[in-house]
Amino acid sequence: MADVGILATTKAAEQIAPRTLDGPSGPRPKRRFSRANIIVYGTLFIVAVYYALPLYVMIVTSLKGMPEIQMGNIFAPPIEVTFEPWVKAWSEACTGINCDGLSRGFWNSVNILIPSLIVSIAVASINGYALSMWKFKGSEVFFSILMIGAFIPYQVMLYPIVIMLREAGLYGSLSGLVLVHVAFGMPINTLLFRNYFAAIPEELFKAARVDGAGFWAIFFRIIMPMSLPIFVVALIIQVTGIWNDFLFGVTYISSPDRYPMTVQLNNIVNSVQGVKEYNVNMAATLLTGLVPLTIYFISGKLFVRGIAAGAVKG
């Protein structure tokens, strides 16, 4: 969760990513069970087990009852499968005085996510378009400041933004948080769009100009329709970044009943009161991770391309 290394990585990704995505090339190895192969596959398999284990533990724990958790070990599959922890996590778990479960945080996150997505992608794509095809005096300066800003730790800008939002009367509200996401998502997405649009042949642009199309007409009727892939990549980066955000949610939302899902999840699991219900906690954790995981497994190679190009955000 960082929007770092953008400059370098994009460059690397632009050159290399397409090739990576084709998978291995060249002839298949002939001997399948040579000693070297056993070492390669053995190591990969063991490491894969380590990486897959937490997801497995989450699923398994969330399907057990509390007595079974207290008796057995965390890696054992459930003897009696129960979906009660899921129901409880979704609609009954308590944070402070609210006991209506994670569903509240989920809908808050959705309410934050949708406007943030629309505004940030719209703004970033238009920035990228202006920066690549309608350069004006000073446009590169703004772009450079934006890129440098991406490397500065968020903590430096947190408080000034509190003041700005308070002045605008938006501090503590969802729309304030949306604006913050738009601002911090801007560097990486602008870079993404700018590089993509810069590769579009100039003749196309010139022909449209000769035909009398202006700034907006060229953008909506020519550039946008031919740039679908990059919009999808930006969408993936933004969805995972905004959904996984914790810092901005906890800083710019003032009342607990409007907290995004990650913040609420942390409050539920790390609350000190009451008996710890590990199965409910893991169900809640899994629920929160479900949105980015779904995006990840569906988008597959586009996700890899997205993160390689954007090298992380959030």
Partner 1 sequence: MASIDTDARSRAGRRPNRLFKNMNAKLASLPMMFTALVVFLGGTIWTITYSFTSSGLLPRLEWAGLEQYARLWSSRKWLVSIENLAIYGFLSLILTLVIAFILAALLDRKIRGEDTFRTIFLYPFALSFIVTGLVWQWILNPQFGVQDVVRDLGWTNFNFDPLNNPEIVLYGLLIAGLWQGTGLIMCIMLAGLRGIDEDIWKATRVDGIGTVKTYLVVIIPMMRPVFVTSLVLIGSGIVKLYDLVVAQTSGGPGISSEVPAKYVMTSMFGGQNLGQGFAASTMMMLSVIIILIPWAYLEFGGRKRG
Among 22-30, 78-86, 87-95, 202-210, the segment contacting partner 1 (CB under 8 A): 22-30
Using rule CB under 8 A, residue 12 touches partner 1: yes
Cβ contact 8:303 at 8 Å: no
Residues 85 and 65: their CA atoms lie apart, in Å, by 8
Considering only 78, 98, 111, 157, the residue that binds partner 1 (CB under 8 A) is 157
Interface with partner 1 (CB under 8 A), residue from 101, 105, 176, 289: 289
Task: Tell me which residues in 225-284 interact with partner 1 (CB under 8 A).
Answer: 240, 243-247, 251, 262, 265-266, 269-270, 278, 281-282
- Locate 256 and state its tokens: 């607990």
Tell me: does residue 300 bind partner 1 (CB under 8 A). yes
What angle in degrees, to the nearest 10, is found between the helix axes of 301-310 and 278-299?
90
- If one asks whether residue 170 binds partner 1 (CB under 8 A), the answer comes out as no
Cα 260 to Cα 253: distance, rounded to the nearest angstrom: 9
CB nearer to partner 1: give 83 or 134.
134
Q: Treating both helix axes as pointing N-terminal to C-terminal, what angle do 301-310 and 174-198 enclose, rounded to 10 degrees?
A: 90
- In this structure, what token pair is assigned to residue 168? 């605008």
Q: For residue 179, give the 3-state DSSP assignment.
A: helix
Nearer residue to partner 1 within complex by CB, 227 or 288:
288
Specify which residues 253 forms β-bridges with: 172
The strand pairing partners of 98, in sequence order, are: 95
Tokens of 290: 């479900």
Least separation in angstroms between CB 62 and partner 1: 10
Q: Are 261 and 106 in contact (CB under 8 A)?
A: yes
Among 13, 112, 113, 235, binds partner 1 (CB under 8 A): 13
Residues 31-70 that bind partner 1 (CB under 8 A): 36, 40-41, 43-44, 47-48, 50-55, 57-58, 61, 69-70
| Per-residue tokens: 96 | 């402070």
- Taking the complex as a whole, how short is the minimal distance between the CB of residue 83 and partner 1, in angstroms? 19
x-marked contacts with partner 1 along 66-85 as a string, rule CB under 8 A = ---xx--xxx----------
DSSP strand E in 4-71: where?
none
Taking CB under 8 A as the criterion, which residues in 93-152 touch partner 1?
123, 126-127, 129-131, 134-136, 139, 142-143, 145-146, 148-149, 151-152
